[in-house]
Amino acid sequence: MLNRDSMPLSSPRADDWLAHCADSITDPAELCRLLRLGPELAQAAEQPAAEYPMLVPRAYAQRIQRADPDDPLLRQVLPRPEELAPAPGFSADPLGEAAAGSCPRLLRKYYGRSLILATSACAVHCRFCFRRHLLRAANYRAEGDAASLLAEALDRLAADNSVAEVILSGGDPLFLSDAQLAELLARMESIPHVRRLRIHSRMPIVVPQRITGELMELLQGTRLRTIVVVHVNHPAEIDGAVERAIGRFVDAGIPVLSQTVLLRGVNDNIEALGELYELLADLRVGVYYLHQLDRVAGAAHFEVPIQVGIKLVAELRNRLPGYAVPRYVREIPGATSKQLLA
């Protein structure tokens, strides 16, 4: 793993994840100052940050190499002027999700599974996020409406007995409080045909303090078979706290899978991907998907040609055991499954 300098940052109590989130860095000038980067990067970030605000937890910032404007973690979170450049083929809703929802918080993309947009909030704002525009759009509305929108989604779920698995997504579902999660779980448990719960989250990576004993009790106490899918893109994102957070799930018998987005300047090289998948195998994480970037407006500079991705996966296959090689996929709006690229 890369050797990161420690950074003189304030440190909320280790187990107080809400304090960690509240203490996040929102000002590009502060981030650049802490990372010993020139003020020109902060100035260049101002306009794109006005479009889609910057949000970086300090626990994540500590893993960014100082004085390196090309750091792969920094590239994922610092707004850049390229985000404002128009790019043909890139749109605000690349997966057509606004039209796929039977109600604002419920998506039915694939047979037998439904996806609940549990919250519009995240602990980090990934610059390449395919929901970066939807997260601010009217159908997510203010969090004040969340309770009634979620109730509507759950009513629809209860009325559709073809759904065996619910995927909690967002935003980040682990950004919900334990009380909110408990309420959501109780409601899903009361629907007899729902058997499995899948939680898609970046929290174990960006704010590993979120994986508390209370959260584990909640997840271990549900009758729903629970799977956690962590979004992780680079080996330097995995430090000791992340290892412990993932270990808590695995030790509790909750399977953990990984998903990664192939990103130019972040992980589009065999060294980064090879080390990432070695580490995930060490952590007993089931390697799941390597995603081709969804073509969201503002993220064109992150796109890696598919032919490059196919070669990278072929090289991973030469180096790693089969169980540590991801399925390289892309999502096509309206398709009944993801398209396998390699």
Nearer to ligand SF4, 97 or 172 (CB): 172
Q: Measured from the CB atom, is 128 or 277 closer to ligand SF4?
A: 128
Nearer to ligand SF4, 129 or 146 (CB): 129
Cis peptide leading into residue 171 (ω within 30°): yes
**Whole-Å CA distances, 282 to 4, 95, 148, 205:** 20, 33, 42, 16
User: Which residue, 174 or 191, is less far from ligand SF4 as judged by CB?
Assistant: 174
Q: How far is the CB of 205 from ligand SF4 (least distance, A)?
A: 9
Subset of residues 103 to 162 that bind ligand SF4, contact rule: CB under 6 A: 122, 124-126, 129, 131
- For ligand SF4 (CB under 6 A), the number of binding residues is 11
Could you tell me the smallest distance in angstroms from the CB atom of residue 135 to ligand SF4? 7
| 231 is an interface residue for ligand SF4 by CB under 6 A | yes
**Closest distance between ligand SF4 and the C-beta of residue 36, in Å?**
25
Determine the distance from the C-alpha atom of residue 197 to the mean position of all C-alpha atoms in its chain, rounded to a whole number. Answer: 17
Q: Quick check: helix, strand or coil at residue 137?
A: coil
CA distances from 1 to 25, 88, 126, 235 (A): 24, 37, 22, 7
Tokens of residue 269, six digits? 């090289």
What's the min distance (Å) between Cβ of 22 and ligand SF4? 17
Q: How far apart are CA 3 and CA 63, in angstroms?
A: 9
Instruction: Supply the minimum distance, in Å, between the C-beta of residue 126 and ligand SF4.
Output: 3
Dihedral over alpha carbons 22, 257, 332, 98 (to 10 degrees) = -30
Positions 156 through 175 that interact with ligand SF4 (CB under 6 A): 170-172
Draw the binding track, 181-210, toward ligand SF4 (x: CB under 6 A; -: no contact): ---------------------x--------
Q: Does 75 bind ligand SF4 (CB under 6 A)?
A: no
Q: How many angstroms separate the CA atoms of 225 and 234, rounded?
A: 28
What CA–CA distances, in Å, run from 93 to 60, 199, 257? 27, 22, 26
Residue with token string 């090879």: 274
Give the footprint of ligand SF4 on this chain (CB under 6 A): 122, 124-126, 129, 131, 170-172, 202, 231
